[in-house]
Structure 1
Amino acid sequence: MSSAAPGHNPLGLYLKDRRAKLDPAAFGLSGTRRRTPGLRREEVAQRANISPTWYTWLEQGRGGAPSADVLDRIARALLLTDVEREHLYLLGLGRPPEVRYRPTEGVTPRLQRILDALPYSPALVKTATWDVVAWNKAAVVMLTDYAMLPPEQRNILRLIFLDPHVRAAQNDWEAVARFVVSAFRVDAARAGAAEEVEPLVEELCRLSPEFDAMWRDNDVRSYGGGLKHLRHPTAGTIALEYSAFAVDERTDLTMIIYHPATAEDLARLKGLVEARYGKLSDGDGRAIPS
């Protein structure tokens, strides 16, 4: 059986390219007398615990589609990143791999600096299970002082349903709560975190009859942006436009940025922030002009 033409075997070309980029010395292998850079086919096959013949056929476009298990073994053998592993699946099976949920411990300093560069736009980063892992000063003033909460309490659902101050701040609490529950359901399922969120869901069902009823409705919604009205104890209702963004290379994280909807909303929010923190600077240390 002849091998497929190079242009019709993107999986083989990708495997060959990844293999060529690996340093044999990093695996304790001799780098002498190698005709081409990188690992040999039989070395990748040995690391993946598959037949050298089968691996050779994959690179040559022969033998049919590989299984997900084989692709996972090859991904580990080639030290592929999550993005590279996903690309391998798309080439080999025409679909992404099943999601593997991994708890998030925090954000990079670079991402925190991005939040801090938005002095008068409340912004936060949340996980797929809706735990808040980063925020800026404007979020403290307008949303919640997350630093005052233990990490396990910094969950948006928990705050919406169990914190009376957060509840009172919502202009239409029921509509907000239903939206949060339905969007959370989608995020948790998409991230493969159904098992991880089960204790939280059980706790909220026990403590909040309203959550229990909304969860049983099985509504699902996506979100990307909209308009939110929040009541502040002293400044009154402030309108905020919000947008949600995926964090590059961190599919488990979402950044949500709220921006005052009008000049009047901006002035009131700015007054609240500066009353607590003084005049702020942007991420480069420059004072924000009035």
Structure 2
Amino acid sequence: MALLAGVSVSWYTWLEQGRDIKPSTAALQRLSKVFNLDSVEAAHLLALGARTARPVSMSGEVSSGLKLLVREMDPIPAYVRNSRLDILAWNDAIAALFVDYGSLQPDERNTLRLLFLYQPYRTLILDWESMARGMISTFRAARAQADDKAPFDSLVNELNDLSPEFRDWWPDTDVKGFDEGCKRLLHPKTGPIEFTYIALTPHGRPDLSLVTYIPRPADGESQS
């Protein structure tokens, strides 16, 4: 591994031992290639090495234009979340699909918190464990890149206290992006339904994601 990464065996051994060797960005980038890390995993490695390229903002501000876009996307369910997975803006379609976010306190409008502490999410989301673990991985990657980790850690502490599943899964080291995929729901009104979810980053706001849920056609239906 040391040879492939272009470093000495001693240096690589010290790295594995967790010694304070302060690896350079170039060395970490070479290691990322050797380990065949994807873009999210590579960014996480750089963050752990204190070589983050861009601090993550936690301002919580959403422009009026972005709010308007989310509203006008109705009937396509959509919301805006920050890197901590706080839901900051949403439309009626996604409120009808998941929960009326306006009825919740601001600190309760968090995807990770809802997944673990809001019982209707457990019955609504099929493959709940896979989805919950994926969100933990996304949250873990975002936390590593945040300058101020206190908002992340406060949520971790709360979920550790209140959710046995979160407490068991949080020590894992997996990180992943959650930008696109399939989500299956068992909705109390419409029954089973599948969505393709897509998360897009608004220009100039790397701390935000615009998340949309596009209904997938049922078997036998045309996709045109």
Distance 2:195 2:143 in 1: 26
User: Contact conserved, 1:100 with 1:191, CA < 8 A, in 2?
Assistant: yes
Out of 178, 188, 192, the position equivalent to 2:147 is 192
Match of 1:109 among 50, 57, 64: 64
Note if contact 2:200-2:209 (Cα within 8 Å) is conserved in structure 1.
yes
Structure 2 regions of 5+ residues with no counterpart? 1-50
Q: Secondary structure at the match of 1:187?
A: helix
State the Cα deviation string for residues 28-73 of structure 1 (Å, max 9, x = none).
xxxxxxxxxxxxxxxxxxxxxxxxxxxxxxxxxxxxxxxxxxxxxx
Check conservation: 1:122, 1:258, Cα contact below 8 A.
yes
Q: TM-score, normalised by structure 2?
A: 0.71
SS in 1 for 2:207: strand
Specify the alignment match of 1:236 in structure 2. Answer: 191
User: 1:263 and 1:172 mapped to 2: Cα distance?
Assistant: 18
Say if 1:125 and 1:253, in contact at 8 Å, map to a contact too: yes
1:139 is matched with: 94
Cα 1:108/1:263, change in 2 over 3 Å: farther
1:216 aligned counterpart, secondary structure? coil
Aligned to 2:206: 251
Regions of 4+ moved over 3 Å: 96-102
Checking the alignment, whether the CA contact within 8 Å between 2:80 and 2:90 is kept in structure 1 is: yes
- Which residue number corresponds to residue 174 of structure 2? 219
Greater RCO structure (CA 8 Å; 6+ sep): 2
Instruction: Supply the AA of the counterpart residue of 2:186.
Output: R
Contact 2:124 2:185 in 1 (8 A): yes
How many aligned residue pairs are there? Answer: 170
Q: Deviations over 1:211-253 (max 9, x none)?
A: 0111011221112201111121121111111111011111111
Q: Sequence identity of aligned pairs in percent? A: 35
Tell me if 1:204 matches 2:159.
yes
Partner Cα separation in structure 1 for residue 149 and residue 143 of structure 2: 6
Deviation at 1:190, TM superposition (A): 2.4
Match of 2:60, SS state, is coil
**What CA RMSD, in Å, does the superposition of the two structures yield over aligned residues?**
1.9
Equivalence for 2:81: 126
Contact (CA 8 Å) 1:99, 1:192: kept in 2 or not? Answer: no
Match of 2:137 in 1: 182
What are the within-5 Å matches in structure 2 for residues 1-290 of structure 1?
99-262=54-217
Structure with greater helix percent: 1
The residue type equivalent to 1:129 in the other structure is R
Kept in 1, the 8 Å contact 2:52–2:145? The answer is no
**Secondary structure of 2:206's aligned partner:** strand
CA contact (8 A) 1:224 1:244 kept: yes
Q: Tell me the equivalent position of 2:3.
A: none
How far, CA to CA, are the matches of 1:204 and 1:97 in structure 2?
A: 27
Q: Once the 2 structures are TM-superposed, how far is the Cα of residue 98 of structure 1 from its aligned partner?
A: 5.2
- Distance in 1 (CA, whole Å) between partners of 2:52 and 2:184 is 39
2:135–2:178 Cα contact (<8 Å) kept: no
- Residue pair 1:106, 1:134 contacting (<8 A) in 2 also: no
* Greater C-alpha Rg: 1
